[in-house]
Amino acid sequence: MARVIVITSGKGGVGKTTTAAAFAAGLAREGNKTVVIDFDVGLRNLDLIMGCERRVVFDFIDVINGTARLNQALIRDKRVEGLYVLPTSQTRDKDALKMEGVEQVMGELRRDFDYVVCDSPAGIEHGAQAAMYFADEAVVVTNPEVSSVRDSDRMIGLLTSKSRRAERNEDPIKQHVLITRYDLDRVNRGEMLKVEDVLEMLALPLLGVIPESRSVLQASNTGTPVILDEASSAGQAYRDAVGRFLGEQLEYRIVGDQPKGLLDGLFNRLWRRSA
Amino acid sequence: MLAAVNSVGVNRGLSTPATAIQPAAGEVDDVDDCPELFQVRGHLYNLVTLRLIEPEDHRFFPQLQNAIARAPEFFRHAPVVLDATAVAGRPPPNMAEFARRLRQQRLVPVGVQNGDEAWTQAALNAGLGLFPPGRPAEMLRRQDMPQAGPQDAARPVAQPEPAMQPAPAGESRVATVVTEPVRAGQQIHARGGDLVVLAPVSPGAELLAEGHVHVYSSLRGRAHAGIGGNHDARIFCYSLHAQLVSIAGLYLVNAEIDERWIGKRVQIRCVDEAIVMEALP
């Protein structure tokens, strides 16, 4: 039975899809059969970020409506073994997410996969609620600035109270904070919130800190999850985050887009992931 | 039927009362320089509601008279809101005359609620206000209405305390304890007692209690204590960053809180119609 993870935030544009792609790729690389689903009906982006937009025939909504079978809609990633994408419709909207249909698809996916990663749309309305409803774990993506933190806080409240686990009085969704677009310079100048400030306000365990990085835009342009970019600091941070998610103890290395050599000596190369 | 109503209508956005006297041009040139002549405040009141069922029946006022006679102090000079829920489809009576007859019984009609267009217009024409639907407290049964006593006669304001308690008579006040963070968009209402929160309260969260509000952590949201009209209720917190605090309807927004209390361990109470802050020991 799979673990269902929702990547959500409340605020838009903080890095949910980037994170969902990186996370799913990261989990698959560790040998877990993983599917990543786009819940952003009508504004789909996951297929672009995953680089499979030219191979989409059927989508999530087709499967919900019964016009296609699940295996017809699933797209195998060409780079990572065991990684699949379930894209969504560009022409419909969130009302097309009928909960019975979503439940059925989730049920099928749970049986066949180790991890189901749900890329949530922004907001707190039906699309976001459908994405979070079946989750076992949640990664709340937050930028280190006040409006993102406030929206994340709202989302955390909803994750606690409006999920299927909450309705059935089961163990609550296990939630983590992932700070993204962290710019060390701006934090030092006082323009951005420090990690401690964000955690104080959200009161959740920290999964990782992903630095602001040019490589993220490059990754999205080339349709490659950034975690596959070996040279990227953001990619490295995502690898650490996936490692922590899977139970490894890893130090948080707060790096920026510095030219190599400047920070290598200062920062925690000593604490690279150990087996 | 009588029901006590918790009227929260004046909590926000109070406008200044319409002035009846218009000064002649040139008479009032120092309005901006003179000291503060009034303050706008929010306030929570308990008001008696008269729920109309058959207002046109010729036995209406005799029956009302009998009801009043059973607890005269309860009703004397009581501001009364007329609830038109049960009669909204029917044309209203002559409201001016109706109000006059209520005043004959020494009731003070102040407004109408839950009426339709016709009722609204009739109310306004008769100089009565319009009240929002409001939240009813427990229905008062006949035998629960307080007996006349010397203490009631001394009280000029029509707020008979014993009858107006939102918690049913005889029930002890039990505190509600919250141990998880209160998130943006969540509202916790501790019915009838105190609210104790042992985790942070986020901006955008709201705490309400008829009694005290205790936050043994940081308070960044809104806290309302004494919402049933209890002016003795207090707010306690370990780190004050509240967006708004209120006690029995008297409120202060964050911008009005003195700098020196922000982030501190604070006790907030109401003294003589003013919000007072003190350091926690």
Convert the pLDDT of each residue in B68-123 to its tens digit: 988 888 888 889 999 898 888 889 999 999 999 999 999 999 999 888 889 989 99
Structure tokens that stand for A147 in this block: 């409006």
Q: CA angle at residue A93 from A87 to A94, to 5 degrees?
A: 85
The CA-based angle A178-A184-A185, given to 5 degrees, is 150
The model's confidence at residue A45, banded by pLDDT at 50, 70 and 90, is very high
What pLDDT score was predicted for residue A256?
55
Of A2-6, A127-131, B49-53, give the lowest mean pLDDT range. B49-53
For residue B240, the distance in angstroms to the closest alpha carbon of chain A comes to 14
Nearest to A150 among B180, B199, B204 (CB): B204
**CA A244 to chain centroid:** 14
Contact yes or no for A150 and B200 at CB 8 A: no
Contact B202 A160 (CB under 8 A): no
Q: Is B226 left (phi over 0), alpha (psi -120 to 50) or beta?
A: left
Q: Which amino acid is at B206?
A: E
- List pLDDT tens digits, range A145-168: 999 999 999 999 999 999 999 999
Which residue on chain B is closest to A147 by alpha carbon? Answer: B203
Question: Phi and psi of B83, rounded to 5°?
Answer: -95, 115
DSSP bridge pairs for A116: A4, A35
Which residues of A touch chain B, with CB atoms under 8 Å apart?
Answer: 150-151, 153-154, 156-158, 160-161, 200-201, 203
| Interface A:B, Cβ pairs < 8 A | 33
Nearest to A203 among B184, B200, B203 (CB): B200
pLDDT for B115 equals: 86
How far apart, in Å, do the first and last CA atoms of chain A sit? 26
Report the residue count for chain B. Answer: 281
Q: How confident is chain B (281 residues) per 10-residue block, as mean pLDDT?
A: 37 40 61 81 76 91 90 87 88 91 93 89 91 57 40 32 36 80 92 93 93 96 91 95 91 90 95 91 87
| Chain B residues closer than 8 Å to A161 by CB | 186
Give the pLDDT confidence of B43-59 residue by residue, as tens digits: 667 788 898 999 999 99
Q: Are A237 and A229 in contact (CB under 8 A)?
A: no
pLDDT tens figures, A73-93: 999 999 999 999 999 988 888
Report d(CA B114, CA B86) in Å as an integer: 9
C-alpha span between A23 and A4 (Å, rounded): 12
- In the numeric block, which tokens belong to residue A226? 């950034």
Q: Do A160 and B184 touch (CB under 8 A)?
A: no
Higher pLDDT, A46 or B18: A46
Q: Is pLDDT of A116 > 60?
A: yes
| Model pTM score | 0.65
Q: Look at residue A76 and give its three-state secondary structure.
A: strand
Residues of chain B in contact with residue A153, where contact means CB-CB under 8 angstroms, are 183-184, 202-204
At A275, is the pLDDT very low, low, confident or very high (cuts 50, 70, 90)? very low
How far A99 CA sits from the closest chain B CA (Å)? 24
Chain A residue numbers touching B200 (CB-CB < 8 A): 200-201, 203
Give the chain A residue nearest B200 (alpha carbons): A201
Helix-strand-coil percent breakdown of chain A, rounded to 5? 45, 15, 40
Position B36 scores a pLDDT of 81
Contact A98, A128 (CB under 8 A): no
Chain A hits for B203, Cβ within 8 Å: 150, 153
Per-residue confidence (pLDDT) for residue B172, from 0 to 100 = 53
pLDDT on residue B245? 94
